[in-house]
């Protein structure tokens, strides 16, 4: 799994978390980010969204094994319509996601609509020139920043997210 290159616990330190925050992981996979987040957001809820039943099922097993009661899984296609409350989330994660989606600006707009006025979007994705992983569909940090700006999002923080990834925290203007 690609998660091996990334340390979610380390990367999450870039985000000012409060234990009562509500977060949403779009394209959560089997939960490499959901579990560390759920452990920190003890009084909040982490919504885990993925299109694959197998990934959600694997995540549910992990959540159950670790006795976490603040994770809700939701099957959905983030490029279509998903049933989540808008202006609700304090944090939306999009990790190793943009290179996999067809309509990036639609997905980024979804993330923008999901966060509340003080909410943040954490994006972590492959560096264009990373020698690992699939190079197909990668988007540069610069292109992501331009897309965010066009959607009315401001850059709160930019950071290196490991040897092969970049990270960005966005907020509404």
Domain boundaries of the chain, sorted by first residue: 2-172
What is the rounded radius of gyration, in angstroms, for the C-alpha atoms of the chain?
15
**Residues 89-127: pLDDT tens digits?**
999 999 999 999 999 999 999 999 999 999 999 999 999
Give the domain 2-172 fold.
Rossmann fold (3.40.50)
Q: pTM of the predicted model, to two decimals?
A: 0.95
Positions of the chain with pLDDT lower than 50, given as ranges? 1-4
Q: Contact, 146 vs 140, CB < 8 A?
A: no
The gap from C-alpha 111 to its chain's centroid, in whole angstroms, comes to 9
CA distance 140 to 118: 26
Q: Contact, 112 vs 90, CB < 8 A?
A: no
The dihedrals phi and psi of 152, each to the nearest 5 degrees, come to 80, 35
Instruction: Write the DSSP string, 35-50.
Output: HHHHHH-TTS-EEEEE
Structure tokens at 76: 């959905």
DSSP β-ladder status, 165-172 and 115-126: antiparallel
Structure tokens at 49: 């969204």
Question: What pLDDT shows up at residue 2?
Answer: 42
Question: What pLDDT shows up at residue 113?
Answer: 97
Question: What pLDDT shows up at residue 1?
Answer: 39
DSSP β-ladder status, 71-75 and 46-50: parallel
Question: What pLDDT shows up at residue 108?
Answer: 96
Question: What pLDDT shows up at residue 90?
Answer: 98
Question: What pLDDT shows up at residue 133?
Answer: 83
């Amino acid at each position: 799994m690609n998660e091996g290159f990334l340390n979610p616990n380390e990367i999450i330190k870039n985000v000012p978390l409060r234990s009562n925050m509500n977060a949403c992981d779009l394209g959560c996979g089997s939960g490499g980010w959901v579990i560390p987040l759920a452990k920190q957001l003890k009084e909040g809820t982490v919504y885990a969204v993925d299109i694959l039943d197998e990934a959600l099922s694997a995540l549910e097993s992990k959540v159950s094994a670790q006795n976490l009661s603040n994770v809700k899984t939701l099957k959905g296609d983030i490029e279509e319509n998903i049933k989540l409350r808008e202006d609700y989330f304090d944090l939306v994660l999009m990790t190793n996601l943009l290179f996999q989606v067809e309509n990036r600006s639609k997905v980024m707009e979804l993330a923008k609509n999901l966060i509340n006025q003080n909410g943040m979007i954490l994006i972590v994705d492959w560096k264009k020139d990373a020698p690992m992983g699939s190079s197909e569909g990668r988007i540069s940090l610069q292109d992501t920043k331009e897309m965010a700006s066009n959607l009315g999002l401001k850059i709160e923080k930019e950071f290196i997210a490991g040897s092969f990834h970049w990270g960005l925290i966005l907020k509404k203007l």
